[in-house]
């Protein structure tokens, strides 16, 4: 008994030390961000509000944006008209922690507070007709910016959620060096679209004309403008980007990418109780497990699970050379599960099941 007690005490001590270490990391990160923000304000950096595309129902809208401090040179070099925008530039802007943000949509006005990373992500209770609307956003000292918000009709029954990395673009994200290269060096012109996926998703849009499209990724909010330009240049349907923030939290050294996806899928299920989602991902990492878990919890919210199979070469680059071996993923009986290496093979299967 004494041994068990000692082991238990030791484990509790280790857990306590680990938790303390993580909290120290979190506090250090916050001090560093405050230092950067004070330094940026001292040198006269300009407040900039970035508005992201949102979505909503006839009873609420999800508004997304970020408050940043940028140098004038950075603003000019990352202007939408610039011919070549390196990814690393998006990481040199400084988030405005807990910025006060004004939001206008139709006749509604809201006064919000961003999170510690300058991000605004909130469901606003408003009544709007289906279709496109414009949301305007402004933080203290910034220009007013606008973004599209797509309001889904109450009678809509199909929606599309897609992963980004190795699903709509080939990035080999799990390999740290390639991930850094893609995030910090390449611009959207140099990123490679996944064969046939844009055509497949465009066909989905034409088949389900008013369906909401959501791009769910574990990428950082910093790369949202680059991802948006990539999707536009490669003719992917418009849709909201749901990204995350890197760095320590109060209980983890790094944010859990899987948890980010799970939480957003559950939020979509709550926001659209009548919509059945076509969930698109790849087998390079955890999409099959995340989607199968979601369909177990919300079986009435899934129309199909679509998994792009990585080629052997892509699997090696993705750091998962065993990806093509059989995976033990359980799904409820009757769930439509589709797999294919490219958009063309997936399109054929979707058409066979009446979804395309």
Look at residue 223 in the predicted model and tell me its pLDDT: 80
Residue 277: strand pairing partners: 159, 302
Contact between 318 and 194 under an 8 Å Cβ cutoff? The reply is no
224 Cβ contact list (under 8 Å, min separation 6): 50, 52, 66, 241, 243
Q: Is the pLDDT of residue 237 over 50?
A: yes
Q: Pairing state of beta strands 100-105 and 108-113?
A: antiparallel
Rounded Cα gap, residues 352 and 356, in angstroms: 8
**Cβ proximity of 64 and 53 under 8 Å:** yes
Mean pLDDT along residues 63-69: 94
Q: What percent of the chain has pLDDT over 90?
A: 56
What the block records as the tokens of 91 is 């990481």
Residue-wise pLDDT for 246-288, tens only, equals 554 444 444 567 899 999 999 999 999 999 999 999 988 789 9
pLDDT tens-digit map of 342-352 = 999 999 999 99
Interacting residues of 196 by C-beta distance below 8 A, sequence separation 6+:
342, 343, 344, 345, 346, 347
Place of tokens 């940028």: 70
Strands 213-220 and 192-193: unpaired
What pLDDT does 120 receive? Answer: 96
The runs of H, that is alpha helices, within the chain are 2-42, 72-77, 176-180, 197-207, 224-233, 257-271, 287-297, 312-317, 343-352
Strands 192-193 and 169-170: antiparallel
- Long-range contacts from 249-258, C-beta under 8 angstroms, 24+ separation: 249/22, 249/26, 250/22, 250/23, 250/26, 251/19, 251/22, 252/22, 253/22, 253/25, 257/218, 257/286, 258/286, 258/289, 258/290
Do 221 and 246 form a contact (C-beta atoms < 8 A)? no
> Which residues make beta-bridge pairs with 100?
113
Q: Are 54 and 147 in contact (CB under 8 A)?
A: yes
How high is the mean pLDDT of the chain? Answer: 82
Residue 228 and residue 89: Cα distance in Å, rounded?
A: 15
For residue 2, what pLDDT is reported? 38
Angle ∠(127,129,135) on CA atoms, nearest 5: 75
CB 143 within 8 A of CB 286: no
Tokens of 195: 């064969």
- Comparison of pLDDT for 11 and 157, the residue scoring more: 157
Q: What is the widest separation between alpha-carbon atoms in the chain?
A: 71
């Amino acid at each position: 008994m004494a041994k068990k007690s000692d082991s238990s005490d030791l484990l509790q001590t280790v857990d306590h030390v680990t938790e303390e270490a993580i909290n120290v990391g979190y506090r250090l990160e916050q001090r560093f961000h405050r230092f950067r923000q004070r330094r940026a304000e001292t040198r006269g950096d300009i407040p900039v509000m970035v508005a992201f595309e949102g979505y909503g129902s006839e009873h609420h809208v999800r508004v997304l944006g970020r408050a940043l401090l940028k140098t004038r040179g950075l603003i000019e070099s990352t202007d939408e008209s610039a011919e070549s925008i390196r990814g690393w530039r998006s990481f040199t802007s400084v988030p405005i922690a807990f910025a006060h943000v004004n939001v206008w949509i139709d006749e509604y006005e809201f006064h919000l507070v961003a999170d510690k990373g300058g991000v605004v992500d909130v469901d606003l209770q408003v009544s709007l007709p289906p279709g496109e609307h414009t949301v305007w956003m402004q933080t203290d000292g910034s220009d007013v910016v606008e973004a599209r918000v797509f309001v889904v009709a109450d009678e809509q029954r199909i929606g599309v959620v897609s992963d980004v990395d190795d699903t709509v673009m080939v990035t080999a994200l799990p390999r740290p060096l390639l991930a850094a290269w893609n995030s910090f060096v390449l611009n959207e012109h140099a990123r490679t679209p996944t064969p046939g996926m844009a055509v497949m998703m465009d066909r989905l849009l034409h088949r389900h004309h008013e369906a909401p499209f959501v791009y769910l990724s574990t990428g950082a909010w910093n790369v949202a403008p680059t991802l948006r330009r990539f999707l536009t240049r490669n003719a992917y349907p418009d849709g909201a980007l749901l990204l995350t923030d890197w760095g320590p939290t109060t209980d983890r050294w790094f944010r859990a990418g899987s948890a980010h996806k799970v939480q957003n899928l559950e939020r979509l299920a709550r926001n659209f109780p009548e919509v059945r989602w076509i969930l698109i991902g790849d087998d390079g990492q955890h999409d099959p497990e995340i989607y199968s878990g979601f369909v177990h919890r919300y079986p009435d919210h899934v129309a199909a699970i679509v998994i792009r199979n990585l080629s052997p070469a892509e699997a090696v680059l993705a750091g998962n050379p065993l990806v093509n071996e059989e995976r033990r993923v359980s799904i409820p009986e009757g769930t439509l599960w589709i797999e294919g290496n490219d958009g063309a093979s997936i399109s054929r299967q979707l058409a066979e099941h009446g979804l395309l």
